[in-house]
Amino acid sequence: MTSIEDLIEKAVKLRNQEKFEEALELLEELYKNQPTSEIVKNSLIETLLFYGGYLNDIYVLEFEKAKNIFDRIIHIDPTNYRAYYNKGIAYFNLSEIEKAKKLYEKALSIKPDYKHCLYNLGLLYESNNDLQDALTYYERALEIDPKFTYALQARSHVRNELDELKKTKNVKRKIKKHN
C-alpha cells in the first residue's frame, strides 16, 4: 500500500513537471479520503496555487479557469489571502477592475502587510489614472519592504507623472494670466 507521503511526493513531481491536472486528481482524491489531514490539505492548496498562477500567466491567458482554481482554494480555506489576491489578478487581467479591487481588499483584510497586494492596488489605481491613490499604495508597500523593486519603480514613475501634471497646470495658469 502506498503511503500518503508517497502520493504527495508523486503529486509534487507531477506539479513540478507542470502536469497540474494529474497532480490535482491525485491530491483531490487524497483530500476526499483524508479531509482532516493538514499535510494533504496544504499540498492540495499549494498545487492549486501553482496551477492558478500558471493559468494567470500572461503567456497562458486562462484567466477564467484561474478564477475557478482560486475559488476552489477559498472553498477549502476561506482565510487564504493568496487565493483572494491571485483571483484579483485574474479579474484585473480581464479588466474587471472593481472585482479585482474587492478581492485585493479582502486579501489585505486577512494579511494587511501583504506588499504584493498593496503594489497591485497601486497598479489598479494607476490604470484608472488615479495617480495620487496609486502613489499611496506604492508607498505603503515600501513601508513594509523599502527595497521592493517593483514598488520603487512604480512610485518613481507615478511621481514623475504627477510632476509633469503640475508643470502642465502651471503653464496653463500662466497662459490664462497673459490672455
Tens-place pLDDT, residues 5-24: 999 999 999 999 999 999 99
Q: Considering the domain boundaries, does residue 92 fall inside one?
A: no
Q: Considering the domain boundaries, does residue 21 fall inside one?
A: no
Q: Provide φ and ψ at 94, rounded to 5°.
A: -90, 10
Q: Considering the domain boundaries, does residue 22 fall inside one?
A: no
pLDDT digits (tens, 9 = 90+) for 128-179: 999 999 999 999 999 999 999 999 999 999 999 998 888 877 656 666 665 5
pLDDT bracket for residue 50 (50, 70, 90): very high
What CA–CA distance (Å, rounded) separates 82 from 104?
9
Nearest to residue 69, comparing CAs of 84, 121, 81?
Answer: 84
pLDDT digits (tens, 9 = 90+) for 76-90: 999 999 999 999 999
pLDDT bracket for residue 57 (50, 70, 90): confident
Q: Considering the domain boundaries, does residue 170 fall inside one?
A: yes
Q: Considering the domain boundaries, does residue 134 fall inside one?
A: yes
At 36, is the secondary structure helix, strand, or coil? coil
The mean per-residue pLDDT over the stretch 46-64 comes to 91
Rounded to the nearest integer, the mean pLDDT of the chain is 92
Residue 149 sits in which domain range? 113-179
Residues 6 or more apart in contact with residue 20 via CB below 8 angstroms: 14, 47, 50, 51, 54
Q: Considering the domain boundaries, does residue 49 fall inside one?
A: no
Higher pLDDT, residue 34 or 122 = 122
Q: Considering the domain boundaries, does residue 126 fall inside one?
A: yes
What CA–CA distance (Å, rounded) separates 39 from 45?
10
* CATH classification at residue 168: 1.25.40
Whole-number pLDDT of residue 24: 96
The total number of structural domains that make up the chain: 1
| Residue 148 host element (H or E) | none
- pTM for the model stands at 0.86
Whole-number pLDDT of residue 173: 60
Whole-number pLDDT of residue 167: 80
Q: Considering the domain boundaries, does residue 125 fall inside one?
A: yes
